[in-house]
Amino acid sequence: MNDTFEDRLLAQLKAEIVAREARTRVPAVRRIARPRYLAGAAVAAAAVAAAVPLVVGGHTPAYALTKNPDGSINLKINEFRDPDQVERDLATMGVPADITYLPLGKRCADGRAPFVEGDRTSFAKKDLESRDPAVQARIRRATENLASSKAIRPENGITIHPEFIGPGQIVMIEVNENPVEPDTGHPGVAWQFSGRLAEGPVQPCRVVDDPTAFEIGNATPPPGS
Amino acid sequence: MRRRQTGPADFACDPDAFEAFYRRHVDAVTRFLARRVDDPHTVADLTAEVFLAVLDSAHTYRPDRGSEIAWLYGVARNTVLAQRRRTARELRATSRIAGRRLLNTDDIARLEERVDAESPARLALEAMADLPDGDRALLELVAVDGLSPAEAAAALGIRQGTARVRLHRARRQVQRFPGVMELIGGAK
């Protein structure tokens, strides 16, 4: 594809167009995914999950692991292409982590690690499946208060707040990147991640299909927000 | 080559429309630049600058006022003039896309050939250097870049009548400079 200078320049210019369009678009659509770690009926722990419908393509340098003045740590998607390195880098910052990098449409099977106490909620299964905006808003608010949601936030990429990580807990993050870069002509999720705190140890990822990854919604805010 | 025109907003907002626009004109733009600078790296930097300027100013393009190429040469001309006011170092520091970093050895060889091929045009442009600015701008676009007088007027944002007067005057003056008419092919 990118054989000549002209082709490479075109790719950069198109990325610039997408970036400009993204900047002028009103707030980035963020999808709070259906908490898929909810295995049981009543006892539930939710995961922080966010999808970024359209991020700028381009080939920015891979490095992006930054410590913010408030002590939080910021991670950028490219970094995840080498999950082992991210784990090592995070370890040097005092954060034990388990990072999995998968293509969009795949995910790790549930049950890799025990939930932490702070993630326990008591929504009934029918609430979790409810389409009632009021119920969904209540679940979303409760989800935002979970220990995992405080520790792992979909801010500026992914931001980890170590102050909410309890002793012995592990930051478990799964990143799914769309191998096909979405653009304005072919909208879709560029990448998404889900993450939660886990009481160790974490079992290896057993990869399963995730057909919901390709539902991109209609760019309206979640109900009740 | 005149093709179905997409709207002005389209090629700055829609990557596919932009690609079509870019592919129609990228060769003409690099040739335009190779007539004005003799270094492949600077040609690459300026090509990136010109198309970034296209994204910035696409809203100024009006299909009813002239062809895409006339408008694009106007943009390219402004980019070259702006570059001459700055040093190369400044240009690289401020550009959002560093064209020269996208070059490989094949590209450099190809752009060098293009620069060589345009050397008579560069000589002609040098020979016109002493003409008054407004007159020279028209003669450049018509005699060297191959636009019609009407297109050159659109590129410079002046009236066609004004363009004709200036062009006539420039041609007369240029006859006093030995060799210029030969360089620009006289008959044009």
Look-up: residue for tokens 């191959």?
A: B146
Q: By CB neighbour count within 10 A (0-12 exposed, 13-18 middle, 19+ buried), where does A177 fall?
A: buried
Q: What pLDDT sits at residue A219?
A: 54
- Calculate mean pLDDT across residues B14-34: 92
Contact A160, A71 (CB under 8 A): no
- Cβ atoms of residues A83 and A99 within 8 Å: yes
Same fold, B1-117 and B119-188: no
Q: Give the residue from B11, B16, B47 with the most A CB atoms within 10 Å of its CB, the best one to mutate.
A: B16
Cis peptide before A211 (omega within 30 of 0): no
- B18 with A14: Cβ contact below 8 A: yes
Instruction: Say which residue, A22 or A137, is predicted with more confidence.
Output: A137
Three-state DSSP class for B18?
Answer: helix
Band (A45; pLDDT cuts 50, 70, 90): very low
What is the distance in angstroms between the Cα of B116 and the nearest Cα belonging to chain A? 18
Residue A54's pLDDT is what?
A: 38
CB contact under 8 A, A10 and B16: no
The tens digit of pLDDT for each residue in B146-184 reads 898 888 998 888 888 899 888 888 888 877 766 666 666
Alpha carbon A31 to its chain centroid, in Å, reads 9
Neighbours of A93 (CB within 10 A): 13
Least confident stretch, A19-28, A39-48, B106-115: A39-48
Cβ neighbors of A180 (< 8 A, separation 6 or more) are A186, A188
Q: How far is A209 from chain B (nearest CA, A)?
A: 31
pLDDT band at B134 (very low <50, low <70, confident <90, very high): confident
pLDDT category at A205 given cuts 50, 70, 90 is confident
pLDDT-above-70 percentage for chain B: 84
- Of A50-64, A209-223, B40-54, give the range with the top mean pLDDT: B40-54
pLDDT value for A36: 39
DSSP state of A160: E
**What average pLDDT does this structure show over A58-68?**
60
Asked if B55 and A17 come within 8 Å (Cβ–Cβ), the reply is yes
B80's CB contacts (< 8 A; 6+ apart) are B33, B36, B37, B46
Mutation target vs A (from B102, B104, B111, B115; most A CBs, 10 A cutoff): B102
Average pLDDT, chain B: 82
Contact at 8 Å (CB) between A97 and A86? yes
Q: Are the CB atoms for B43 and B34 separated by under 8 Å?
A: yes
Of A99, A119, A104, A118, the C-alpha closest to A202 is A99
Structure tokens, A48: 């922080």
Beta-carbon separation of A17 and B13 below 8 A:
yes
The pLDDT of residue A95: 86
Q: Name all contacts of A34-42 with Cβ < 8 Å and 24+ positions apart.
A: A34/A128, A34/A212, A35/A128, A35/A143, A36/A107, A36/A110, A36/A194, A37/A110, A37/A115, A37/A194, A37/A196, A38/A128, A39/A110, A39/A111, A41/A124, A41/A125, A42/A122, A42/A123, A42/A124, A42/A125
Q: Are B130 and B173 in contact (CB under 8 A)?
A: no
Task: Indicate whether B76 pLDDT > 90.
Answer: yes
- Please, are residues A191 and A62 in contact by the beta-carbon 8 Å criterion? no
Q: Report yes or no: B89 at the A interface, CB cutoff 8 Å.
A: no
pTM of the model: 0.50
- Cα A214 to Cα A39, A67, B22, B82: the distances in Å are 22, 32, 31, 46
B107 touches chain A (CB under 8 A): yes
CB contact under 8 A, B52 and A5: no
How high is the pLDDT of residue A23? Answer: 63
B13 touches chain A (CB under 8 A): yes
Q: Does residue B112 sit at the A interface (CB-CB below 8 Å)?
A: no
Higher pLDDT, A45 or A109: A109
Map out the domains of chain B as residue ranges.
1-117, 119-188
CA gap A100, A175 in Å, rounded: 6
State the pLDDT at residue A215.
66
Nearest CA in chain B to A20: B13
Test B102 with A17 for CB contact under 8 angstroms: no
Q: Shortest Cα distance from A15 to chain B (angstroms)?
A: 8
User: Mean pLDDT throughout A34-52?
Assistant: 38
Look at residue A44 in the predicted model and tell me its pLDDT: 32
Residue B24 has pLDDT above 90, yes or no: yes
- pLDDT tens string A157-186: 788 999 888 888 889 888 887 777 676 666
How would residue A25 be classed by pLDDT, with cut points 50, 70 and 90?
low
pLDDT, average across residues A74-86: 73
Looking at the DSSP bridge assignments, the partners of residue A153 are: A159
Residue B179 has φ and ψ, to the nearest 5°, of 90, -20
- Chain A: nearest CA to B25, how far in angstroms? 11
User: Which of B52, B75, B107 is best to mutate for the A interface (most A CBs within 10 A)?
Assistant: B107
pLDDT classification of B44: cutoffs 50, 70, 90: very high
For domain B1-117, the CATH architecture is Orthogonal Bundle (1.10)
B 54-83 residues with CB < 8 A to A: 55
| E strands in A43-190 | 44-45, 48-52, 65-67, 73-75, 97-103, 106-108, 120-121, 152-153, 158-160, 169-177
The reply to whether CATH 1.10.10.10 applies to domain B119-188 is yes
Using a pLDDT cut of 90, give the percent of chain B over it: 24
Residue in B closest to A22 by C-alpha: B13
* Contact between A185 and B110 using a beta-carbon 8 Å cutoff: no
In this predicted structure, what is the pLDDT of residue B2?
38
Is it the case that residue A217 has pLDDT exceeding 70?
no
Average pLDDT of the residues in A216-220:
57
With CA atoms as reference, report the closest residue to B96 among A84, A19, A113.
A19
User: What secondary structure letter does DSSP report for A105?
Assistant: T
Structure confidence by residue, pLDDT tens digits, B88-125: 566 555 567 788 888 889 999 999 999 999 888 888 88
Q: Give strand pairing partners of A160.
A: A73, A152
More confident residue, A32 or B127: B127
Interface check for B40 against chain A (CB to CB < 8 A): the answer is: no
The residues near B180 (Cβ < 8 Å, ≥ 6 apart) are B124, B127, B128, B174
